[in-house]
């Protein structure tokens, strides 16, 4: 039996010619003008939006998307004002793609323009991990949804929502819950539960990512202080982002491969919605932790797990690192790597801290388990579906960007007291 899954494909335009760049700039400017006028006019119905945007020199796919989107801004999203970075939204009627192995860039998009005979082809740089779905999109084996076109600094980025079928996992046999703890020193710590006991743990080191992020912060800060040219700062920023993206892709693939060795695996992760708002460990630690894309890594794990037919669950993250996985009472971490249970009647004395946390995450998916300590009973420990997490398997209007921005490096250097 198969089930339908929605995912967002991403591609970057190959550098357009000056003529095509001008057309793209005109399209973006006109679209945002139409969006702003319809929003300012308070248009709350599709017909009201249509009356406003019809005179604009926009392709019909953009006008149709505006008619559908603008009424939602106040009704659904309760928007009070618009930011300046809205992407161009297009209906799936603009999903015209072509593929040829004879071209340098094998996939191309037929960019819609107003008027007859004004459309043009643009080559796409796709994510190799998504190549199969791009082929399905061309052959119409996958159904296209909304299309968004965003200018990201010097690049044009295309997002295409697609719906496709994946095989459901068999319900035969008991599920093997596998907790994944996302961290900084250990990028991913995985632990499967067999009869309630931690089994065959998996650890993916985060030392390389940690080093790259520290180096990125220092390098870009120095370039900014020296008033280096914009292209040089952009070049170094992109270098580090590509390296971190590679780490995320490899780590997420390893986590899913680890899960596949177990019978009827179910991946369990913490619901880290709003984790950035909750973190407050001082300026130095906040900068380090806020710059690490927890949800980005979780999203890639969920993407790959879904494609492999492995279910993913999200649970309350409260006290997973402070609770003993055996007796479920509060213990302590004498060091970053060691968890200690102080209770004499518990068989656990010391345990590797991240493995203990991942075991707690896996245990928490059981709704009958006592996963929040009794003295913290006011905490809500109900099972969560992860709907607030930033993943690429569900389309959301507001999500955490897949790439960090340079604003993360505008703050001053931490003082010695911050260390």
Give residue-wise pLDDT tens across range 85-143. Answer: 889 999 999 999 999 999 999 999 999 999 888 999 999 999 888 899 999 999 988 89
Percent of the chain, pLDDT > 90?
35
Angle between helices 283-290 and 207-225 (to 10 degrees): 110
- The answer to the question of residue 194 being in a domain is yes
163 and 197 share one domain: no
- The answer to the question of residue 391 being in a domain is no
50 and 16 share one domain: yes
223 and 265 share one domain: yes
161 and 246 share one domain: no
- The answer to the question of residue 277 being in a domain is yes
111 and 206 share one domain: no
308 and 254 share one domain: yes
310 and 265 share one domain: yes
- For residue 96 the two structure tokens come to 């015209």
- Which residue, of 167, 185, 211, is where some domain finishes? 167
- Which residue, of 364, 383, 402, is where some domain finishes? 364
What's the mean pLDDT in 296-315?
85
63 and 192 share one domain: no
- The answer to the question of residue 415 being in a domain is no
- For residue 41 the two structure tokens come to 């006019």
Instruction: Count how many domains the chain has.
Output: 2
- Which residue, of 113, 132, 167, is where some domain finishes? 167
SS3 151: strand
pLDDT digits (tens, 9 = 90+) for 18-74: 999 999 999 999 999 999 999 999 999 999 999 999 999 999 999 999 999 999 887
334 and 186 share one domain: yes
What's the mean pLDDT in 312-316?
86
226 and 278 share one domain: yes
- The answer to the question of residue 419 being in a domain is no
Burial class (CB in 10 A: 0-12, 13-18, 19+), 309: middle
196 and 154 share one domain: no
159 and 188 share one domain: no
pLDDT digits (tens, 9 = 90+) for 336-346: 778 888 888 88
- For residue 405 the two structure tokens come to 């921005």
- The answer to the question of residue 413 being in a domain is no
CATH of the domain at 338: 3.30.420
Domain assignment of residue 206, given as a range: 176-364
- The answer to the question of residue 414 being in a domain is no
pTM above 0.85, yes or no: no
């Amino acid at each position: 039996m198969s089930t339908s899954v929605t995912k967002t494909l991403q591609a970057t335009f190959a550098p357009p010619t000056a003529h095509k760049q001008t057309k793209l700039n005109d399209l973006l400017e006109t679209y945002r003008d139409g969006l702003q006028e319809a929003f300012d006019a308070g248009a709350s119905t599709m017909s009201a939006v249509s009356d406003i945007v019809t005179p604009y020199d926009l392709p019909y796919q953009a006008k149709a998307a505006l008619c559908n989107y603008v009424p939602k801004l106040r009704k659904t999203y309760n928007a009070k004002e618009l930011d300046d970075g809205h992407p161009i939204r297009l209906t799936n009627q603009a999903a015209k793609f072509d593929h040829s192995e004879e071209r340098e860039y094998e996939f191309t998009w037929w960019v819609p323009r107003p008027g007859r005979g004004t459309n043009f082809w643009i080559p796409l740089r796709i994510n190799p991990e998504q190549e199969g779905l791009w082929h399905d999109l061309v052959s119409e084996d996958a159904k296209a949804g909304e299309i968004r076109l965003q200018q990201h600094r010097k690049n044009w980025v295309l997002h295409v929502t697609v719906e496709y079928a994946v095989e459901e996992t068999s319900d035969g046999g008991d599920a093997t819950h596998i907790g994944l703890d996302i961290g900084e020193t250990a990028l991913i710590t995985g632990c499967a539960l067999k009869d309630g006991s931690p089994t065959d743990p998996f650890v993916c080191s985060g030392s390389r990512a940690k080093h790259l992020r520290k180096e990125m912060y220092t390098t870009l800060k120095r370039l900014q202080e020296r008033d280096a040219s914009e292209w040089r700062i952009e070049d170094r920023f992109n270098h580090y982002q590509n390296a971190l993206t590679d780490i995320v892709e490899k780590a997420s693939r390893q986590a899913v491969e680890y899960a596949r060795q177990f019978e009827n695996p179910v991946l369990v992760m913490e619901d880290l919605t709003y984790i950035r708002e909750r973190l407050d460990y001082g300026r130095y630690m906040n900068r380090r932790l806020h710059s690490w894309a927890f949800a980005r890594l979780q999203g890639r794990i969920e993407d790959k797990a879904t494609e492999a037919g492995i279910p993913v669950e999200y649970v309350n993250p409260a006290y997973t690192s402070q609770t003993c996985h055996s007796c479920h009472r509060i213990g302590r971490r004498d060091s970053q790597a060691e968890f200690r249970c102080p209770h004499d009647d518990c068989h656990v004395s010391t345990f590797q801290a991240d493995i203990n946390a991942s075991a707690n995450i896996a245990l928490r998916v059981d709704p009958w388990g006592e996963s929040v300590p009794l003295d913290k009973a006011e905490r809500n420990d109900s099972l969560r579906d992860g709907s607030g997490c930033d993943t690429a398997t569900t389309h959301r209007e507001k999500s955490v960007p897949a790439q960090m921005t340079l604003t993360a490096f505008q703050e001053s250097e931490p003082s010695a007291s911050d260390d």
